[in-house]
Amino acid sequence: MSLAIGVDIGGTKVLGAVVDDEGKVLGEARRDTPADDVSGVHDSIIEVIRELSDTHDVTSVGIGAAGWIDAERATVLFAPNLAWRNEPLRDKIAADVDVPVVVENDANVAAWAEFRYGAAREADSALLFTVGTGIGGGAVIDGRLLRGAHGVAAEFGHMLAVPGGHICGCGRYGCIEQYASGSALVRFAREHATHDPAKAAALLELAGGDVAAIDGPMVTAAAQNGDRAACEAFARIGAYLGEGLADMAQVFDPEVLIIGGGVIEAGELLLDPARAAYGKALAARSRLPVAEVRAAQLGVHAGVIGAADLSRVR
C-alpha cells in the first residue's frame, strides 16, 4: 500500500492528511495559516508534514494551494488570499523533506479527488465547479487533469455571465463569480431584505435586524426554514450556475458536472435551480447525451485526497 501526504492550504488553515492509494484518510494534522507571512506559512506546512511523517511511512507529498500554479507544478504565481507572489513553493518544501513534492491548484486537486474517488469515480471526463466565496474549477478530460499551456486552465469563475456587470477581482466585469458564488448569494439576499423586508422576516431575525450583518450561513439557515428572500437568493445564483454548467458542457462534453465548495452544503437549495437552468439551457440538445449534474461527495477532505493522489502521478 502506497501512502502519500496531501496538504490543503487555505486562507485560514493548513490541513494535512496521510492518504492511501484507495483514497482513504489515515491521519490528519492542521495548523493556522499566517496569511501575510510567507515564512510562517512555510513553517506551518513543514510542521504538518513532519507530524504526519513521524507516524506514517510516506512516499510523496502533494500540496493544493489556492492560487495560480505554473505549468511545472512548482511555483505559485499568485495567491489572492496569501502573500505568495512567484513563490517557488515546491523547491522550498522539498528542501526540508525527504520525498518528492508536487504543488497544484486547490480546485484542481479537489476535481482530481472527485474524479478518482468521489462523485465522478466511474467517469472518464468530469468538471468541478467549487462554489464558495468565489468560484474555482477543475477539469479532468479523458482521465487527465487539464492544466493548459501555462498551468492555469479551468478558471470557470471568470467566464462572462453578465456583459458589463459587476466588477470582478480579476479586473473584468460580469464574471460568473459575481453572480453564482457565496458572495453573490449574500449580496442578493441583502438586496431582497432591503427592498422587501417582509419577505425576509426570518433572515432579518437571524441578522438581528441588520441587513449588513447577513452572511452565508444565515441565508442557508433561513432558506431551509422557507424564508422567501433567502430562497430567491439561492434561486438566482443557481440559475446563473446552471447556465455556466451548460456552457461548459457544450465546450468539454464531460460525463459528469460536479458542484462542490462550501455552498453545496445547502444541498437541493442550490442543486435544484442549477439543474433546472442547466436543463433549460441545453433543451435543444434533447437528442444528444448531456452530463449529469451531481453534488461533490468528499467534502473538506477533497483537497488533501486529491493532492496526495496527484503526488503519485509524476
Could you please report the per-residue DSSP string of 81-122?
TSS-EEE-HHHHHHTTSSS-EEEEEHHHHHHHHHHHHSTTTT
The residue among 98, 113, 151 whose CA lies nearest residue 17 is 113
If you ran DSSP here, which 8-state letter would residue 151 be given? Answer: S
**Which CATH number characterizes residue 70's domain?**
3.30.420.40
Number of domains in the chain: 2
Per-residue pLDDT of the chain (314 residues; tens, 9 = 90+): 799 999 999 878 899 999 999 999 999 999 988 878 899 999 999 999 999 999 999 999 999 998 899 999 999 999 887 888 999 999 999 999 999 999 999 999 999 999 999 999 999 999 999 999 899 999 999 999 999 999 999 999 999 999 999 999 889 999 999 999 999 999 999 999 999 999 999 999 999 999 999 999 999 999 999 999 999 999 999 999 999 999 999 999 999 999 999 999 999 999 999 999 999 999 887 778 899 999 999 999 999 999 999 999 75
Ramachandran area for residue 267 (φ above 0: left; ψ -120 to 50: alpha; else beta): left
Task: Report which residue type is found at 49.
Answer: I
15 assigned to some structural domain: yes
Q: What is the spatial distance between Cα 182 and Cα 225, in angstroms, rounded to a whole number?
A: 19
Clarify whether residues 290 and 307 are in a common domain. no
Clarify whether residues 155 and 254 are in a common domain. yes
Q: Which domain holds residue 88?
A: 4-112+301-312
Clarify whether residues 107 and 143 are in a common domain. no
241 is written with which cell numbers?
A: 450556475
117 assigned to some structural domain: no
Clarify whether residues 170 and 56 are in a common domain. no
54 assigned to some structural domain: yes
DSSP strands (E only) in 33-176? 61-65, 68-69, 76-78, 85-87, 101-105, 126-131, 135-141, 144-145
Clarify whether residues 106 and 133 are in a common domain. no
Clarify whether residues 276 and 207 are in a common domain. yes
CA 219: distance to chain centroid?
20
Clarify whether residues 169 and 280 are in a common domain. yes
Clarify whether residues 172 and 241 are in a common domain. yes
Clarify whether residues 90 and 154 are in a common domain. no
Q: What is the pLDDT of residues 171-217, one digit of tens each?
A: 999 999 999 999 999 999 999 999 999 999 999 999 999 999 999 99
Clarify whether residues 246 and 202 are in a common domain. yes
Sign of the Cα torsion 152, 303, 223, 277 reads: positive
21 assigned to some structural domain: yes
Instruction: Yes or no: say if 102 and 61 are a contact pair by the CB < 8 Å rule.
Output: yes
Clarify whether residues 94 and 135 are in a common domain. no
